[in-house]
Structure 1
């Protein structure tokens, strides 16, 4: 019996990505191309939060060890790349259903000019990758006193 990866919401997720891309207003614009999606076996879900002094990206990477995650920043584009191990071929024989996707993943984000690229940090804990992207001092709001 051949194992098929069952992904019931695959088409719905693809539609959601397309709609999100149309209405993207986040400063960390999604820079994923169709070619990149074709070379990835799966795409990790992310949350992006903007704080006063930084952006924070949380990426769900269950089962991926920190050593298997590559984070790069080049010309304003932040890239998350890595690999989640596949099931051993001998073990697949005993599975009745295999829904967890394995293989390589890739996500890219275009960063705004206001970030301090030299101070970006990454931390992986409990299957969640946290990327802290500080804003540069010039981008911080400054209160100006009015003399009278």
Structure 2
């Protein structure tokens, strides 16, 4: 039987990049997809959530050990990279279908001025890496009471 595979990349990579650029204009943390194209074999899904006192970056990378992931912050750019190793068939085992991505991955995001780059932390749970980026104290909203 022939193995069925799903394409590893979009059939129109430039369209993906165009959509990323369009949505990045409206995001407080923009992706640097142009720099990542050609450097990665796949891109993990990423959610970026803004809360009152922090930004939360959630990266789906099941099957990748935390020590296999590099997270760096330099010049206001948050970079997440690593590699998911391909599982090899042994003996009489053969894949009938293979859809999970493997190989190197790379994501890069520009931090807004309100991010406190000195206090970034990361943790991993159930295949999701959670990166917490606090906001600077001056960037947090202050409630102003109205005097009568």
Range of TM-score over shorter length:
0.7 to 0.9
Whether the 8 Å CA contact 1:5–1:101 is kept in 2: the answer is: no
Tell me the alpha carbon deviations over residues 39-66 of structure 1, each in whole angstroms, 9 at most, x when there is no partner. Answer: 2010000111100000001111011110
Structure 2: how far apart are the matches of 1:96 and 1:120? 42
Match of 2:130, SS?
Answer: strand
Partner of 2:143: 143
TM-score with structure 2 setting the length:
0.85
Match of 1:20, SS?
Answer: helix
Structure 2: how far apart are the matches of 1:126 and 1:104? 20
Partner of 1:32: 33
- 1:132/1:90 CA distance change after superposition, 3 Å: same
- 1:6/1:31 CA distance change after superposition, 3 Å: same
- 1:36/1:8 CA distance change after superposition, 3 Å: closer
Cα drift, residue 102 of structure 1: 0.5
1:134 equivalent in alignment to 2:129: no
- 1:14/1:101 CA distance change after superposition, 3 Å: farther
1:96 equivalent in alignment to 2:63: no
Structure 2: how far apart are the matches of 1:90 and 1:13? 34
Q: Which runs of 5+ in 2 are unaligned?
A: none
Whether the 8 Å CA contact 1:116–1:135 is kept in 2: the answer is: yes
Partner of 2:87: 87
Moved more, 79-88 or 68-77: 79-88
Whether the 8 Å CA contact 2:5–2:98 is kept in 1: the answer is: yes
Cα drift, residue 36 of structure 1: 2.1
Q: Which runs of 5+ in 1 are unaligned?
A: none
Whether the 8 Å CA contact 2:8–2:42 is kept in 1: the answer is: no
Structure 2: how far apart are the matches of 1:125 and 1:88? 25
